[in-house]
Amino acid sequence: MIEWSQHLPVLQVVVPLIVAPIIVLFRNKNIAWFLATATAFFSLYTSIELLTIVQESGPIDYAIGNWERHVGIVYHIDIANAYILTIVSAVSAFVFPYSYHSIQQEIPEYKLHHFYAALVLCLTGLLGIAATGDAFNVFVFLEISSLSTYALVAMGDKPGKPPRASLAAYRYLIMGTIGGTFILLGIGFLYMMTGTLNMAELSEKLPALSDTSTVRAAFAFITVGASIKLALFPVHTWLPNIYTHAPNVVSAFLSSTATKVSYYVLLRAMYTLFGAALAAQALQLKLLIGPMALVAIFLGSFNAIKQTNIKKILAFSSVAQIGYMVLGLSMNNLDGLTGGLIHLFNHALMKGGLFMAVGCMFYRYQSVELSDLKGVGRTMPFTTFAFVLGGLGLIGVPLTAGFISKWYLVLGAFEADVWWLAILILIASLMAVMYIFKVIETAYFQEPNTDIEVSEAPLSMLVPTYALVLASVYFGIFTEPMLGAAREAAEMFLSAGGM
């Protein structure tokens, strides 16, 4: 008899992959929504199950079809994978139920089942990247998620208005394809040198070959490719437009999942594949990645302050927050990396919640321009309060999740012996105060437009929004479950390189 739980690693990916075409076959928006939501909850269940198993009894290797690792594909779930899977599926489990009302307003009905099919495919891709232990498989899932993302974003076009969303999607298509190709090239080089695509085998064989220029080129290609997908400065330019013009559900979903998975890819490449191989890696982190991250933080925050469109404020804030995560990575020590990793989860909760709150505002106002949202604090008090709570998290106020990340990043800076970096991190969080308060001031200090009647968003949107936002407060106080996992993952990456 086969244990059900043994197959969790592959079910995690296979179930959404099968559900996506089924959704298209039914051609019904309600069934589509229901199936997508059910899938999200199934993945949440499996990923939490996997996280517990991994924490109790160590990594799982699942050879698909029982083919050995040098022949077939092996799914490898260790603490880092399980952690990323949990983030992605948890956010989906909140965003998908929320989408029901929100998306109907933005997309014509005949497209809705396509939308949900693409959404579930995107989820499949993201989960696949996080679950697989095979380098080529990473590329395949990356393309699945990217292609479905292009479609999802392009659906955000409003009838009768310039096709901003399509244009943004097109630009992302070009950037994303370059990124994907770079990763593919890198993987190709590695295959050329080692004859294997399995990550564990790669990490065993690469140290001996670390001096060859092919391996170094592979490292460069993969790093740059992953950075494009991650939207790290200076290859972040696609991101603000995507987040701004995509349908609100998609913005909420992508902002809290896609970049997180790309960060994971970067980590795997840095530590697992090349960690032992490139001794100079640490130096590159400090001299190359670190400054990029710092620029991302300041440039992103600065641009966020300048914007007058809330979604754009949040999008540029994402550029900055990605900077924090990468900065944690560049410190190359336990506290810093823990900070970067825990910020994945915390930022997913906060930014997801914020985008959802903005979606609620859009649902009533049909706009996310600050000038249209005057006095929204009085017309939609619950929604605005959710935004305030999420915003406080973004600032890093204690007792919210954002504080936890910041604390570790500051300690990481101390540990790396660069105290001025700690100050810079904190100064940057003051810039978050400025862009969040810009919204708060508009919401509370200006008189509402009296010519339109506005009421609260429907409960089906408010409840998931509050669930995410309150979760970001909960995990700012009771940090143990996720912080423990992030710390373990950081320890794993730093000690053994992870496989």
Residue 478 in the binding site for another protein (CB under 8 A): yes
The tokens describing 457, both together, are 């968003």
Residue 371 in the binding site for another protein (CB under 8 A): no
Start-end of H helices in 246-333:
248-267, 281-284, 290-306, 310-331
Residue 126 in the binding site for another protein (CB under 8 A): no
Binding to another protein (CB under 8 A) within 303-362 occurs at none
Please state the closest distance from residue 337 (CB atom) to another protein, in A.
Answer: 15
Residue 272 in the binding site for another protein (CB under 8 A): no
Q: Helix, strand, coil % (nearest 5) of the chain?
A: 80, 5, 15
Start-end of H helices in 195-237:
199-205, 213-230
Please state the closest distance from residue 413 (CB atom) to another protein, in A.
Answer: 9
Distance CA 167, CA 388 (A): 31
User: Which residues, in sequence order, are bridge partners of residue 309?
Assistant: 369
Residue 396 in the binding site for another protein (CB under 8 A): yes
Please state the closest distance from residue 251 (CB atom) to another protein, in A.
Answer: 26
Residue 382 in the binding site for another protein (CB under 8 A): no
Max Cα-Cα span within the chain = 72
Amino acid at 377: G
Q: How many CB atoms lie within 10 A of CB 217?
A: 14
Residue 191 in the binding site for another protein (CB under 8 A): no
Distance CA 43, CA 127 (A): 9
Distance CA 359, CA 298 (A): 26
Binding to another protein (CB under 8 A) within 397-456 occurs at 397-399, 403-404, 407-408, 410-411, 414-415, 422-423, 426-427, 429-430, 433, 437, 441, 444-445
- Total residues at interface with another protein (CB under 8 A): 31
Residues 6 or more apart in contact with residue 347 via CB below 8 angstroms: 256, 260, 318, 321, 324, 325, 402, 405
Please state the closest distance from residue 309 (CB atom) to another protein, in A.
Answer: 21
Applying CB under 8 A, the span of 23-31, 41-49, 113-121, 471-479 interacting with another protein comes to 471-479
Residue 480 in the binding site for another protein (CB under 8 A): yes
User: What are the two backbone dihedrals, phi and then psi, of residue 368, each rounded to the nearest 5 degrees?
Assistant: -125, 20
Please say which residue, 240 or 375, places its beta carbon nearer to another protein: 375
Helix (H) or strand (E) holding 440: helix 419-445
Alpha-carbon dihedral sign for residues 406, 412, 417, 418: negative
Binding to another protein (CB under 8 A) within 226-245 occurs at none
Please say which residue, 54 or 433, places its beta carbon nearer to another protein: 433
Please state the closest distance from residue 446 (CB atom) to another protein, in A.
Answer: 9
Please state the closest distance from residue 20 (CB atom) to another protein, in A.
Answer: 40
Residue 392 in the binding site for another protein (CB under 8 A): yes
Query: Rule CB under 8 A: which residues touch another protein?
Result: 392, 395-399, 403-404, 407-408, 410-411, 414-415, 422-423, 426-427, 429-430, 433, 437, 441, 444-445, 477-480, 483, 487
